[in-house]
Structure 1
């Protein structure tokens, strides 16, 4: 009944009101989820520049695993939301079960590959030899526990696809809160708990994920959103293959698009590494601040696709276009306000996250330039997620390739050649401007084409 009420709201209620009701709980959840990296960065920064630089080198790799999970979540959400929009709840429940099993298996394979190739990977990223022991301490624990990251994220995608954005937000919020509690306890120690340094940050994340696994499984079972019984037309194995194919058709291109981001970040990290450890440490702080400043964008990228997919399943193309435009306008206004706030607090932020003056100066430079384009970056991210919701994952993948490897990396590198780190950051702003323009008009063209084919 709850899923049916959510379906009616997504298909009939006022668009702006519905999107707001879906998005604000996700904002809280995403904010606390992002706090994993921000809190880790803050406490690890207290250990010194080398530990902070070591964790900064790990970010492209950890984000690769997370990107696979996010991509599979996108595929899960698009498939299940369309089933709900077409009023096929039994198929939605079975697809949700297959999504959980499939995602856990794929993340386990990727984590194993990363675990047994750590030194090769981080040496290729130009990590200094003295940082490799710190990186191994952190990543060996992170890889071992990463399978527990996938279940809460895919479970949340199943919940959001049914129209429930509040429950996933509570799960994400609890995970972020637990991580914030465990981080200082395990990094610095307290009473009988020994100080574990950088390893403590990894343990804090893994423990938080494990608790999230228990919570999300209980909630999915209680909400009756999972089933091991396939629809009657096929055997279990046949239906599982069909469900997996549907999820992977969208999920793998979406995962590939998401994985391009850490790949691009790895290239940029290698470029920044030429300016020394302080530059890498500052860039690591900046990328985490970017995630925090983009919380509205990330929340809308999670709440908008179920809205689009359910209306796509019901044949409401015009309502899809109105929702997309509403989300774009909101992001541009909100990110302009966030930029003003970041600039006003730039010195305070630099002091909070860095100890050396060289690191502080680069953090401030980052804040003054790159956040100018976060609204434009929001247009790109929302367009990307909207393409996936329309079951057009290849277009989303091509948009990501264009943004990162035709625009962002080349223009950032060109900027660094012309004007060092300042030029690198300006190049990123120009890249976001060009890509956002292409994304917006490209999506509107696709919607007109879809409307014409359905006429």
Structure 2
């Protein structure tokens, strides 16, 4: 499939039309992928409250590796897009190969550590003793296949850096569809396939990742977007360092989210398994409700990186403002939809009255802050796109550990779970205002230095 948007159009065509062309395929891909992940939660929920709670305890851990993969993808996209904006296509192809190799090695190492330290990790998360066997069943398979998760994610970043957002969307959507097909077969059994419970849910993910890895590697080679040929002034170590200089701070920033969620899970565990199960469902729903945010956070960086590399600073600012306006308006619409459908959503995921009540409570409060959360996430991705990963990292630190966790905890002391959710909304509003000011200050500084 041809690229939806050419590299030339990223630095010349009207911003709103270009951003829309790049974003709508990603919306479809992300929505399909996340919706099937929600289906995954639905099938596990059919096994009972304990399996649902057990898989909910794994979210902070699995998202740590996912965050590393996302961060490495951010570094890859930023470096390759800027080089394409500068007209250095050969360097971009070579750097793509280095990015895939480095990402696979890093995720493999972290997975091995996770396998060795499973018990202390989940005990520290306050997982109840009876849930540990279910958690181990799920995580052993998940860790074993994690390398097959990172390759499609970094491969998709390589594609997006060239302006192609349609192909990554198709790969994401196909992975989600395959996972949804394999889930019920492997969880509940079908014909000669035995019922595997939570192990089946993990195995379904690994199989879909395997197919995604094969697809993305074939397509990258077919489109000549990766090459082992070393340009004259390039070196593997130099390329790896450039990618990791952005990728590691970006990964660190992303890893702060599961770390914060681990702290939140430990806090919520004090309210019982029902609260943990409801929070797990809520975080999956949050991913689904944040599809627009996630999609723009993937399509916006190549647009900003290439214009930043071409020193088109006004276009950088226009792209950022256009993206923020779209996110705020659309998230308000999504909140209204969630508000109207909350009772129905709760009934889909559980028969437990207490879990259903807490799911409804989550939906009534938390999505109020998703628009502001979108401002923070897009500011973060814009910093990375402009090769300012440390600013992105500090913004994440402020959002999660200066604002979100402390204000949520204080809220829980005042009004239990209701207060905890309200504290999270307030934290997003304050941090969004700070992120806006921070980005404007940074961009104006770069603009002045270039003019000087």
TM-score, normalization by structure 1:
0.98
Indicate conservation of the 8 Å contact 2:5/2:164, yes or no: no
Distance 1:329 1:139 in 2: 39
For residue 256 of structure 1, the aligned residue among 252, 255, 268 is 252
Q: CA deviation at 1:2?
A: 6.3
Q: CA deviation at 1:233?
A: 3.0
The answer as to 2:319 corresponding to 1:323 is yes
Q: CA deviation at 1:35?
A: 3.1
Q: What's 1:358 paired with?
A: 354
Distance 1:136 1:37 in 2: 20
Distance 1:311 1:98 in 2: 24
Q: What's 2:208 paired with?
A: 208
Distance 1:23 1:454 in 2: 30
Partner SS, residue 345 of structure 1: helix
Q: CA deviation at 1:264?
A: 0.2
1:154-196 per-residue CA deviation (whole Å, 9 max, x = no partner) reads 0000000000000000000000000010000100011111111
Distance 2:233 2:292 in 1: 42
Pairing of 1:105-124 with structure 2 (within 5 A): 105-124=105-124
Distance 2:428 2:52 in 1: 28
Unpaired runs of 5+ residues, structure 2, are none
Unpaired runs of 5+ residues, structure 1, are none
Distance 1:98 1:33 in 2: 27
Q: CA deviation at 1:94?
A: 0.1
Q: What's 2:330 paired with?
A: 334
Q: What's 2:398 paired with?
A: 402
Q: 1:3 to 1:26 in 2, by over 3 A?
A: closer
Distance 1:31 1:110 in 2: 28
The answer as to 2:200 corresponding to 1:195 is no
Q: What's 1:77 paired with?
A: 77
1:356-380 per-residue CA deviation (whole Å, 9 max, x = no partner) reads 0000000000000000000000000
1:53-106 per-residue CA deviation (whole Å, 9 max, x = no partner) reads 000000000000000000000000000000100010000000000000000000
Indicate conservation of the 8 Å contact 1:175/1:208, yes or no: yes
Q: What's 2:366 paired with?
A: 370
Distance 1:232 1:432 in 2: 47
Q: CA deviation at 1:37?
A: 2.9
Distance 2:129 2:351 in 1: 22
Number of aligned residues: 451
CA RMSD of aligned residues (A): 1.1
Q: CA deviation at 1:36?
A: 4.6
Indicate conservation of the 8 Å contact 1:7/1:84, yes or no: yes
Indicate conservation of the 8 Å contact 2:54/2:135, yes or no: yes
Q: CA deviation at 1:5?
A: 6.7
Partner SS, residue 370 of structure 2: helix
Pairing of 1:25-424 with structure 2 (within 5 A): 25-234=25-234, 239-424=235-420
Q: CA deviation at 1:29?
A: 1.1
Q: What's 1:453 paired with?
A: 449
Distance 2:263 2:395 in 1: 19
Distance 2:184 2:5 in 1: 43
Q: 1:320 to 1:50 in 2, by over 3 A?
A: same
Bigger drift between 34-43 and 258-267 goes to: 34-43
Q: Which runs of 4+ in 1 moved over 3 A?
A: 1-5
Indicate conservation of the 8 Å contact 1:91/1:231, yes or no: yes
